[in-house]
Amino acid sequence: MPTADGAPDILSAEFAENPYAAYRIMLDKQPLIWHEPTQSYLVSRYEDVARAFKEPAFTTDNYDWQLEPVHGRTILQMSGREHSVRRALVAPAFRGSELEQKFLPVIERNARELIDSFRDRGSVDLVADFAQHFPINVIVDMLGLDRAEHARFQRWYTSIIAFLGNLSQDPDVAADGLRTREELAEYLIPVIRERRQHLGEDLLSTLCAAEVDGTSMSDEDIKAFCSLLLAAGGETTDKAIASVFKNLLEHPEQLEAVRADRSLIPRAFAETLRYTPPVHMIMRQPAEDIELSTGTVPKGSTVTCLIGAANRDPRRFAKPDEFDVFRTDLPTETAFSAAASHLSFALGRHFCVGALLAKTEIEVGMDQLLDAMPDARLADGTPPVEQGLFTRGPAALPITFTPRIPAPA
């Protein structure tokens, strides 16, 4: 049902088909909407969403009911010293030499193995054959878990993401998410306990051994973080790598520029995060009445921050509905930090701890895909269609290409 000024409801089929058209109406006429079905205020303008992410008056108390039932208590729900210490325990594994030396080879190997399954075929569905598996396989291997469990973790990941995006409150989806929490705990807790006794070079061992100011992580803390990593780390990269390729295929001149100069891959990723973000909405809860640019949100209410709209706010970005790897109002040097201009990794104290991991995965995956598919093109008669509400990306991405002839032995 459209609102008074014509923006379709976010739970409608019209919105699901093309949220960007609705975002334009919201940004222009309805930047603050009370949404009865989700019992939340929809906020769309860049200025307001950025404030909700950065200002301490906006809390993550909503995660107590939104995330905790499926993950357990995570770093996203913490504040103050508890948050800073817990972030200090996990963040080093996702940046600098730890990421470069320990986990880059894991990322490269997983990309290569998936591409090997189709590099000689001349065709691929980049979503089903690569994007959906790549980040989950990487996470399983980073944690030092049995590679035979890839399919099991893929199922758990799908269940968790469905739970988090269950805005219509489907009881079957909710029940499946709760079962997944139990199954994941039954699997991971014994592994964590065993790993404490036999530390290795894997991420799980790093989390078991981490200590800051006398504080370490309990078995439940580590399990909850792994569950969060599975969802947040998998979903952003899954959707992003398919969306980067889709955006470039739909803009052939920019694809050729990136193919010729691989240093442009981070630019293409940053612009994709702005133009077609993997996560379209994140919720916050104000601890006091907050005056936004066009109205007030009351203390204790739920605020749904529409990232997909804010990233296309013409008050912040020039020609926001155009994909442009070379735009000058989205600096690449800050695009994967808490100073990013886009809002897809949030901002402030809860900026995505895995942003550099996602960047590395995209760089490696895109580089190998461009090498394997030198003349990649969309398959005839199959224009890619996006799907999803809470998270969004191509439902499928059929590509054809000329297989590269291997060099003689």
For 193-209, the pLDDT digits (tens) are 999 999 998 999 999 99
Element of type H or E holding 281: strand 281-286
Residue of higher predicted confidence among 66 and 130: 130
Residue 304's φ and ψ, nearest 5 degrees, are -95, 110
Q: Which domain holds residue 158?
A: 69-277+322-400
Rounded Cα–Cα distance for residues 10 and 235 (Å): 20
Rounded Cα–Cα distance for residues 124 and 108 (Å): 19
Does position 93 have pLDDT exceeding 80, yes or no?
no
Establish if 116 belongs to a structural domain. Answer: yes
245 pLDDT band (50/70/90 cuts)? very high
Reported pTM: 0.91
For 6-10, 88-92, 298-302, which range has the lowest pLDDT when averaged over its residues? 88-92
For residues 145-167, average pLDDT: 84
**What pLDDT is stored for residue 66 in this prediction?**
77
């020039």: which residue's tokens?
318
Establish if 155 belongs to a structural domain. Answer: yes
Does position 30 have pLDDT exceeding 90, yes or no?
yes
For residues 245-272, average pLDDT: 97
Rounded Cα–Cα distance for residues 80 and 59 (Å): 11
Rounded Cα–Cα distance for residues 279 and 266 (Å): 18
Establish if 45 belongs to a structural domain. Answer: no
**What pLDDT is stored for residue 165 in this prediction?**
78
2 pLDDT band (50/70/90 cuts)? very low
1 pLDDT band (50/70/90 cuts)? very low
Half-sphere exposure of 88 (CA within 13 A, CB side): 13
Establish if 143 belongs to a structural domain. Answer: yes
Tell me: the pLDDT tens digits for 47-56?
999 999 999 9
Number of domains comprising the chain: 1
Residue 123's φ and ψ, nearest 5 degrees, are -155, 155
Beta strands at 303-306 and 40-43: parallel, antiparallel or unpaired:
parallel
pLDDT averaged over every residue in the chain: 90
Residue of higher predicted confidence among 405 and 364: 364
Residue 19 · residue 386 · CB < 8 Å:
no
CB-neighbour burial class of residue 381 (10 A; exposed 0-12, middle 13-18, buried 19+)? exposed
**What pLDDT is stored for residue 398 in this prediction?**
96
Beta strands at 58-59 and 215-216: parallel, antiparallel or unpaired:
unpaired
Rounded Cα–Cα distance for residues 110 and 137 (Å): 7
387 pLDDT band (50/70/90 cuts)? very high
For residues 380-393, average pLDDT: 88
**What pLDDT is stored for residue 105 in this prediction?**
92
Give the chain's end-to-end CA distance (angstroms, integer).
63
Residue 162 · residue 176 · CB < 8 Å:
yes
Rounded Cα–Cα distance for residues 109 and 134 (Å): 10
Percent of the chain with pLDDT over 70: 98
Residue of higher predicted confidence among 96 and 394: 394
5 pLDDT band (50/70/90 cuts)? low
Establish if 338 belongs to a structural domain. Answer: yes
Establish if 171 belongs to a structural domain. Answer: yes
For residues 158-180, average pLDDT: 85
Structure tokens at 388: 């999803």
Question: Per this entry, what is the length of the chain?
Answer: 409
Does position 181 have pLDDT exceeding 70, yes or no?
yes
Beta strands at 303-306 and 281-286: parallel, antiparallel or unpaired:
antiparallel
Structure tokens at 84: 């800073």
C-alpha separations of 134 from 23, 357, 361 in Å: 31, 13, 9
Establish if 314 belongs to a structural domain. Answer: no
The domain that holds 354 is classified in CATH as 1.10.630.10
For 119-133, 136-150, 163-177, 306-320, which range has the lowest pLDDT when averaged over its residues? 163-177
Establish if 199 belongs to a structural domain. Answer: yes
**What pLDDT is stored for residue 405 in this prediction?**
65
